[in-house]
Amino acid sequence: MARTLKQKLADSFVVAPGVYDLISAKIADQKGFDALYMTGYGTVASYLGLPDAGIATYRDMVERAGQIVKMTDTPLIADGDTGYGGLLNVRQTVRGYEAAGVSAIQLEDQEFPKKCGHTPNRRVVPLDDMLRKIEVACDSRESDDFLIIARTDSRTGHGIDEAIRRGKAFRDAGADVVFVESPESEDEMRQICAEIDGPLLANMVEGGSTPIRSATALRDLGYALAIFPGSGFLAAGRALDTVYDDIRENGLTTEKSDLYEFAKFSDMIGFPDVWEFERKYPEN
């Protein structure tokens, strides 16, 4: 029987690369990670072509999470934003994500509409409001194996001490994992790990506010889980920019474009199953 994400967190340090569509999810699924992370930023950008600024709806996100779960074998952590409304919405969001097969949902203490955690002008709700959200989330799940990750965005506007105060309260309220967003130095990361008891999540955003550290270094600091939400879509963006420039400038792809092999891509996306079906059930 496959270990749950909860068991994996208890046994070892977990690294989860960011996925944002089915191509990125299926490629990451082959790599042997303990978890995948459905990034809100990347999913909204890929699906709507818009910023991660509270524009996508619950339905937009739960449908995409469910399809990723359906087409992959690796446990999925999914961004649930603020829960998409009030406490009743939080209950619906938790139930919907769990029913879709997601292994963990991330909920945050931003005001609605939320913003990406490494962009400015984020505002947080009163602590008591977030604690009630966590209580509802925990009470709404069917299984304790479905994890509640509680995130605070208070560091940027209110300082590290307030962020740690909230993180402690989140854990006391029943959150399985605490996520203090955008600490600005390794010293702050070390302080978070020293003062908050329980599993902690590190968010490694290339170009963001937090120093990028290796999985080994993060584990040594005291984290239990690291997500790399932007690495996939930033790599894809650079690759697409390069290949489209190549075609525009040269009229074809050259050695400048580092392309995924077409036959390998066809295998990854599932064409062998189609061909086997066609051999078994040929059209008359």
Who contacts 244 (Cβ-Cβ below 8 Å, separation ≥6)? none
Q: Average pLDDT, stretch 13-38? A: 97
What percent of the chain has pLDDT above 90?
92
Domain containing 93: what range?
Answer: 5-230
Task: Please state whether the predicted TM-score (pTM) of the whole model is above 0.75.
Answer: yes
Lowest mean pLDDT among 114-128, 157-171, 243-257: 114-128
Q: Are residues 154 and 119 in the same domain?
A: yes
Do 68 and 167 lie in one domain? The reply is yes
Do 255 and 166 share a structural domain? no
**pLDDT surpassing 60 at residue 94:** yes
Question: Do 243 and 169 fall within a single domain?
Answer: no
Give pLDDT, residue 111.
86
What pairs with residue 219 in β-bridges?
none
The average pLDDT across 103-120 equals 82
pLDDT, position 1 = 40
Clarify whether residues 245 and 193 are in a common domain: no
Pair 105, 246 in one domain: no
Burial of 73 (0-12, 13-18, 19+ CB in 10 A): exposed
Asked if 131 contacts 169 with a C-beta cutoff of 8 angstroms, the reply is yes
Of 82, 35, 49, nearest in space to 233 by CA: 49
Asked if residues 149 and 106 have their Cβ atoms less than 8 Å apart, the reply is: yes
166-211: pLDDT as tens digits = 999 999 999 999 999 999 999 999 999 999 999 999 999 999 999 9
180 and 198, same domain (yes or no): yes
CA gap 164, 106 in Å, rounded? 17
Per the prediction, the chain carries an average pLDDT of 95
Q: What percent of the chain has pLDDT over 70?
A: 97
d(CA 130, CA 78): 18
169 and 201 assigned to the same domain: yes
Token duo for residue 244: 């489209």
Is the separation of the CB atoms in 104 and 177 below 8 Å?
yes
Extract the tokens encoding 60. Answer: 């937009």
Last residue of a domain, one of 208, 230, 252: 230
Q: Do residue 159 and residue 191 come from a single domain?
A: yes
Q: What is the CATH number of the domain that holds 201?
A: 3.20.20.60
Q: What is the pLDDT of residue 283?
A: 87
Are 66 and 103 within 8 A, CB to CB? no
pLDDT tens readout for residues 140-164: 999 999 999 999 999 999 999 999 9
Same domain, 169 and 273: no
By C-alpha distance, which of 170, 180, 175, 178 is closest to 210? 180
The residue among 230, 249, 270 that closes a domain is 230
Count of the separate structural domains present in the chain: 2
Pair (224, 258) in one structural domain: no
- What is the predicted pLDDT for the residue at 53? 87
Q: 151 and 41 in one domain?
A: yes
Q: Is the pLDDT of residue 218 over 60?
A: yes
